[in-house]
Amino acid sequence: MTLTATAPPRSTGTPAPGRPRKSIWSYWRFYLALSPFYVLFAVFGLYPVASTILLAFQKWDGLGPRQMVGLQNFRFLIEDSTFWLSLWNTLVLFVMSTAPTLTIALVLAVMLNSAIRFKGVYRIAYFIPNITSLVAAAIFFAAVFSTNFGLINSGLRALGLPTEDWLGQPWGIKIAISTMIVWQWTGYNTIIYLAGLQAIPTEQYEAAKVDGAGPFRTFFSITLPQLRPVVLFTVIISTIGGLQTFTEPQVMVGETGGADQSGLTTVLYFYNTAFRANDYGYAGAIAVSIFLLVLLFTAINWRLFRGRSTE
Amino acid sequence: MNRGRGILLHVLLTIAGLLCLFPFFWTLVMATNTTSDIYRYPPKFTFGSQFDDNVRHVLENVAFFSSMANTAIVAISTTLLVLFFDSLAAFTFAKFRFPGRKTLFVVLLATMLLPAQLSVVPQFQTMVAFGWVGSLKALVIPAAANAFGIFWLRQYFQNSVHDELIEAATLDGCGFLGVYRHVALPSARPALAFLGIFTFVASWNDYFWPLIVLTDPDHLTLQVALSSLNKAHGVDYSMVMTGALLAMVPLVIVFIVFARQFIKGATEGAIRG
């Protein structure tokens, strides 16, 4: 999201040229108006973040004194196979959920854009999964994938196919979790893409029609390039959300992450390290690496999409 | 478009819509039947008459209504505080100049990049120090103002509040707060509505932080209570699904009432980006 388009505000608080410069105290109202956010951020944002970064270089069980240990936590992190497993799980879940979500969303949005009636009703129905509580949705999807009476297994039985112990095996867990994420986020992204499609000037489509371009050429040469900033937005939102997946596995398969720890995401591992094992220093190191990962992925997305569009 | 393709289009769009809504239907089926009705093949697809019993079981096992009341208190007070603090800051950023304005705004944007995990451990220690562990204050106060809302409303104020109006109000003798109340707030109603619903929904569904900071099992929010119900009585599916249903429904109703405004707001943010 860029801020370049904002015009400099003309304002009653600006000293007009020629008038004597006002003292900084004359602006107190403005600073007071801004202060709630910055005070809260200092106490509940800046201080804890700085403290976590310091914590990443310390050993602390939450009760005794903090002990500086240098890079020990990070050295341990690099050799910790559970950490790498959690990272792998997070990335696999991210791909397994984001790829179908954004693809289906784009198809639905194109379809919705060409529909004339009932648009409003569809939009509300598609948005509802996104405002549904994660905990309730996770309970629901755990029931759907349940071995004994789950709908999926009932469906398989009805088709004469063998049933699966979905939540009892590694890939089943990943499929169940990503199905839930796809359900929760496809509609949201559809609505975002639809708004992007509606913002494309119709003259471009008319010009393409005159040139004799078919629906597929039109889609790939006009629709997709025009949608690029919107796609960037959805990819960044999905990345930030995907790298922080926690509630789905925690509710569906529990804090261990289930069979082979297949549902153990990095944030779940962080939670266990901090609030179950009380190993706060190591948890700090995990938190710092999650943050760096979010920054890295956001930067990659940005380059992939923005880089090409400026050429 | 010819007629056949039009019908096919609506069939596909309707299937997608039904898939979105199916969990609510199926949750209702499970919540109105007994667990043994659910545990059978072929599954029962019709509503039963066990809803009252299931609700009673939920209430026996968790303090459901007090959790819901806690959630409502947190969501409503967070929303009101966010609307007030964010709009005041956003209006200041949008319409006034003062030393340090740019720097402060860049700091505000940067804060949006920080993931929750990065602050949660020391934040918990802060709550211990303040004596707020287990208290609803721990949920409301840290969330009382946020960068997203200020960023969002600032754009709105810039585009919709004209400087002439501010000047006129100032000439009429309005001070800073007067201009905020009589000029800024009335013209930002749609944006405030979106931010309000957004904050309310996020607060209602919040799970990670309440799970950590609410330590008293008799004093939880809905999401944490639901999760602990699921953990302790996961085999009693009809009861757990009843709990899930009760936790989802109020929010869905709030959403449907405000849906148009909310969706409009949510998409504007993405498109403008």
Q: Write out pLDDT tens, residues B105-134.
A: 999 998 888 888 899 999 999 999 999 999
Distance between CA B173 and CA A217 in Å, rounded? 61
Of A29, A111, A137, Cβ closest to residue B9? A111
Mean pLDDT of chain B: 90
Per-residue pLDDT, A310: 45
Distance between CA B25 and CA B18 in Å, rounded? 10
Judge contact between B87 and B146, C-beta under 8 A: no
The distance of B68 to chain A (nearest Cα, Å) reads 13
Contacts of B180 in chain A (CB under 8 A): 33
Per-residue pLDDT, A20: 55
A-to-B residue pairs, Cβ atoms closer than 8 angstroms: 286
What share of chain B has pLDDT > 90, as a percent?
A: 55
Per-residue pLDDT, B113: 81
Of B119, B201, B267, Cβ closest to residue A48? B119
Per-residue pLDDT, A10: 46
ipTM of the complex, rounded to two decimals: 0.91
Q: Which residues neighbour A217 within 8 Å (Cβ) at sequence distance 6 or greater?
A: A208
Per-residue pLDDT, A194: 92
Distance between CA A38 and CA A40 in Å, rounded? 5
Could you say which DSSP state residue A58 is in? Answer: E
In this complex, do B226 and A136 lie within 8 Å of one another by their Cβ atoms?
A: yes
Contacts of B262 in chain A (CB under 8 A): 127
In this complex, do A127 and B262 lie within 8 Å of one another by their Cβ atoms?
A: yes
Per-residue pLDDT, B154: 93
> Does B142 touch chain A if contact means CB atoms closer than 8 Å?
yes
> Does B120 touch chain A if contact means CB atoms closer than 8 Å?
yes
Per-residue pLDDT, A21: 64
Instruction: Count other C-beta atoms under 10 Å from residue A149's C-beta.
Output: 20
Distance between CA A288 and CA B141 in Å, rounded? 25
In this prediction, residues B48-68 reach a mean pLDDT of 89
In this prediction, residues B18-35 reach a mean pLDDT of 92
Tokens of A287: 């938190």
Of B196, B193, B210, the closest CA to residue B71 belongs to: B210
Of B73, B49, B41, B67, the closest CA to residue B200 belongs to: B73
Q: Which residues neighbour B125 within 8 Å (Cβ) at sequence distance 6 or greater?
A: A51, A62
In this prediction, residues B62-87 reach a mean pLDDT of 95
- Helix/strand/coil percent split, chain A, to 5: 70, 0, 25
Per-residue pLDDT, B265: 79
Per-residue pLDDT, B147: 94
Per-residue pLDDT, B272: 58
Q: Write out pLDDT tens, residues B128-174.
A: 999 999 999 999 999 999 999 999 899 889 888 888 888 888 888 88
> Does A282 touch chain B if contact means CB atoms closer than 8 Å?
no
Which of B1, B158, B263, B264 to probe the A interface (max A CBs under 10 A)? Answer: B263
In this complex, do A128 and B12 lie within 8 Å of one another by their Cβ atoms?
A: no
Q: Which of residues 231-260 of B touch A (CB under 8 A)?
A: 231, 237, 240-241, 244-245, 247-248, 251-252, 255-256, 259-260
> Does A28 touch chain B if contact means CB atoms closer than 8 Å?
no
Q: What is the pLDDT along chain A (311 residues), one digit of tens a residue?
A: 333 334 444 444 544 444 556 788 888 999 999 999 999 999 999 999 999 999 999 999 888 889 999 999 999 999 999 999 999 999 999 999 999 999 999 999 999 998 888 888 999 999 999 999 999 999 999 999 988 778 899 899 999 999 999 999 999 999 999 999 999 999 999 999 998 998 888 888 888 888 888 888 888 888 888 898 899 889 988 998 999 999 999 999 999 999 999 999 999 999 999 999 999 999 999 999 999 998 998 888 888 876 554 44
> Does A258 touch chain B if contact means CB atoms closer than 8 Å?
no
In this complex, do B23 and A140 lie within 8 Å of one another by their Cβ atoms?
A: yes
Q: B269: pLDDT confidence band, cut at 50, 70 and 90?
A: low
Per-residue pLDDT, A220: 87
Distance between CA A174 and CA A117 in Å, rounded? 37
